[in-house]
Amino acid sequence: MRAHARLEVTADRDRSGRVRTRISRLRSDAPLVLRPTAAVEPTGRWNPDGAAHVALAAAAAGPIGGDHLRLDVEVAAGAALVVRSVAATLVLPGPHGRPSRTETHLRVAPAGTLVWLPEPVIAAGRCDHHATTRVELEPGARLLAREELLLGRHGETPGTVHQRLRVTLAGRPLHDQEFAVGPGIPGWHGPAVTGGHRALGTLLVITPDSPADTHPADPAPRDADTAVMRLTPTATLLSALADDALTLRRHLDRGMTDPPTDCATQRSGPPGPAEGHMLESRSATGS
């Protein structure tokens, strides 16, 4: 199955002169179904005034091996968009052994804001999934992006997942992160990568003016390996490993609301997982 969905928003002024975001293009392509929703408080400090809210729903199971799904999202200058998904994404193996692929392209114009909060991806046994997210930011754009991966269902050995997140600012590389887990990936469950944890996640916060209350803090976890890394003065990455989805979400949610602590790490359990997860990242401001 191949599908390509598109979402575009623009900024308009209402009769009172307030800036409101209007959905200018909404094109679903099953199984990618986009639906406008009522405003939902996303994260306290990340609740853009006048933002458009859109939910991403799946009209069919999957992605299944052999599927290729693409979603394009564009936020115009001055517009604000909050995107959620209605449920977790279960990645399944296909009948012919081919890999599944998802591509997400996010573009944010100057003074635009994108809050990207999909539910977790669950890597079912024997799946082979490749997920790529590309984010293009113009100067002055704001981004809050969360990604979560659960390694298999309860008691299940996960399949193989390759993830890549690439962010550019004004056409220049800002952050490039690759991650691979599952059978065939050397040492994926060892202390240098997941450390035996079954839930992995990242939170990327990018603001043009880097105010003190919009960057993640050191979550000081007791049961997860978590690292906060300041990529640039305006960009911060929080990476977390946990034993379950609830614990993972708790630490990522706290990163949305707490004040920053530069380059702080807190580790529990065997040494290495948080550091290994961070070493998968590459950031550049001048290359």
- For residue 47, the model assigns a pLDDT of 78
**Which amino acid, 99?**
P
Task: Say how many CA atoms lie within 13 Å of 60 toward its Cβ.
Answer: 14
Its pTM stands at 0.86
H helices of 14-141, where? none
Check: CB of residue 152 under 8 Å from CB of residue 122: yes
Assign 222 a pLDDT band (cuts: 50, 70, 90). Answer: very low
Phi, psi of 251 (to 5 degrees): -75, -35
- For residue 263, the model assigns a pLDDT of 36
Pairing of strands 2-13, 19-27: antiparallel
pLDDT in tens, 10-46: 999 888 888 899 999 999 999 999 999 988 765 556 8
CA dist., res. 36 & res. 178, Å (int): 31
pLDDT in tens, 143-165: 999 999 999 999 999 999 999 99
pLDDT in tens, 110-128: 999 999 999 999 999 999 9
